[in-house]
Structure 1
């Protein structure tokens, strides 16, 4: 695996609201630690870091503006020289400056981490791939929650996560382990 010196790390929705109990049981309990390892490696190597923050249009959302859930988790606070963009839909490319920032900086490789695998992570990775970026999603640095499929069948967070990654791998993104990315950087 080759991680370009100009690869961007995009951290999606690492806000306080994602820890709300109403979201239910999740998978990948070590995902945040892996995200923080990647964030540290990106900062240490001087690569581009972009923090994405969701501002929901739904008053019952954990990311509704003007309450604590919309704030970044303390460990994921952006540094002054890091990009921060706001979104109101799952896809971080949609109605935002993300594509412009990346192209202006000559960045064509993007590593996407954060939440939720089958929502904002997947939609952002799909668009990134469709726009021609080389997208990498570390499967162990994102997570999701238990849910139901279209037909009402209960599905575990593990199953939803695995299906979402399968949707991405090979067509929109390369799905790998965090350790493979860290090895490629060092």
Structure 2
């Protein structure tokens, strides 16, 4: 359970404007309500004064939509950090590599994480795997994450929903407990 006595940190991963360009990322995206759900969860965390960590992907590729010199690097309006909320900048898939995220979590004696964001099979998955390996009690919110379709090694097209579902299946029960926004609201707060 998450409570005032044992607050979980909310980790919002890469909910940035660059991901609005669906064609750039593959042409198809699942879970169009992910940002809306993320915004609702963020509102709950703010109301309860639980710890919040905004993760921002800052690509080292100058042509990337997520490069700091490009508008796509900005957070989406639905989850834009407020003054005083922690922003962790990263340039690889894990929010733990090359950042002080773990040190900040440990200094605050945080043992439970709620993870959501973009994209399910890349930065969300990598961060969730590391969180589980570090021993945090980790919850991943399935309907507050989303991804894009992918081309297989033989050119086959895998739908965004299939990529999303297989990424969640690979994480659930081993690295995290996969939950929904409604479950989080009804059972963990």
After superposition, the C-alpha distances for 1:112-169 in whole angstroms (9 at most, x for unaligned) are 1100000000000000000001110011100000112233321000000001001100
From 150, 154, 158, give the equivalent of 1:151. 154
Aligned to 1:11: 12
Give, in angstroms, the shift of residue 25 of structure 1: 1.2
Q: Does the aligned pair in 2 maintain the 1:3–1:181 contact within 8 Å?
A: no
Q: Does the aligned pair in 2 maintain the 1:50–1:82 contact within 8 Å?
A: yes
From 56, 59, 62, give the equivalent of 1:59. 62
Give, in angstroms, the shift of residue 63 of structure 1: 0.2
Unaligned runs of 5+ in 2: none
Q: Does the aligned pair in 2 maintain the 1:93–1:99 contact within 8 Å?
A: yes
Q: Distance in 2 between matches of 1:85 and 1:44?
A: 21
User: What SS is found at the alignment partner of 2:63?
Assistant: coil
How many residue pairs match? The answer is 185
Q: Distance in 1 between matches of 2:107 and 2:154?
A: 44
From 125, 128, 133, give the equivalent of 1:125. 128
Give, in angstroms, the shift of residue 185 of structure 1: 4.4
Q: Does the aligned pair in 1 maintain the 2:139–2:179 contact within 8 Å?
A: yes
- Runs (4+) off by over 4 Å: none
**TM-score, normalised by the number of residues in structure 1:** 0.95
Q: Does the aligned pair in 2 maintain the 1:6–1:106 contact within 8 Å?
A: no
From 86, 89, 93, give the equivalent of 1:86. 89
**TM-score, normalised by the number of residues in structure 2:** 0.94
1:182 to 2:181 alignment: no
After superposition, the C-alpha distances for 1:11-54 in whole angstroms (9 at most, x for unaligned) are 01111111013222100011111101100000001100100001
After superposition, the C-alpha distances for 1:64-107 in whole angstroms (9 at most, x for unaligned) are 12110111112221112211110000100111111011110010
1:108 to 2:103 alignment: no
RMSD: 1.2
Unaligned runs of 5+ in 1: none
User: Which 10-residue stretch deviates more, 141-150 or 41-50?
Assistant: 141-150
Q: Does the aligned pair in 2 maintain the 1:149–1:155 contact within 8 Å?
A: yes
Q: Distance in 2 between matches of 1:149 and 1:164?
A: 15
